[in-house]
Homo-oligomer: A and B are copies of this chain.
Amino acid sequence: MRSRAESLEFALLGLLTQGPLHGYELRKRMIAIYGPFRALSFSVLYPQLHRMLEAGLIEESVSDTGGISRRSRIVYAVTTDGKKRFDEITHTSSSEALDDENFEVRFAFFGPTPRGNRIAILENRLVKLVERASLIRSAMSANAGQLPDGIDKYLHEWRRHSLDSVEREIAWLEEMINIEGKSS
């Protein structure tokens, strides 16, 4: 799951394993999950669906049930290959930390992800963020007081906020790991 195409494919497979949907509806679901910011545009979505069709991960079928004489919808459903691909990803564990975007995508489909991998994903991300926090801290102490007010006052404030933000996510991750540890 390195490229964006791959993570989009994963998200689409995840949505379609819950039931067949057409392109327009898939976009709405994506926005409902990930927010209007980073909205998925049609010119990315439709070509992606076509690629997945060719790869045999999904099947299409035309339906006219959209209304009296609305434009016919093209409904997509996962094939067994598509389901297999999705399960491969959710069931494969890796020691590399996911970046912001990929973590968000994977976390949204934690439901169908086995608990062992859920914890691994959370912990890998945690390690990465702890690193990032210490980098910010050392940057802050490196030029603490040594540079004049003008430029670095704001740099310092920004780092303070960045560090706070990272520490908040660390706390949240620990909370999530804790919940996973206790439940089923």
Contact = CB atoms under 8 A, between A and B. Distances in A.
Interface of A: 18, 32-33, 35-37, 104, 107-111, 132, 135-136, 139, 150-151, 153-155, 157-158, 161-162, 164-165, 168-169, 172, 176
Contacts of A157: 176
Contacts of A104: 158
A28 B132 CA distance: 17
A108 B153 CA distance: 9
A16 to B, nearest CB: 13
Contacts of A162: 35
A104 B154 CA distance: 10
Given A132-B37, A135-B35, A135-B36, A111 B153 contact: yes
B136 A35 contact: yes
A154 B37 contact: no
B155 A108 contact: yes
B153 A161 contact: no
Contacts of A150: 111
Contacts of A169: 161, 165
B154 A107 contact: yes
A18 B151 contact: yes
A33 B135 contact: no
A110 B150 CA distance: 9
Given A35-B135, A36-B135, A136-B35, A164 B154 contact: no
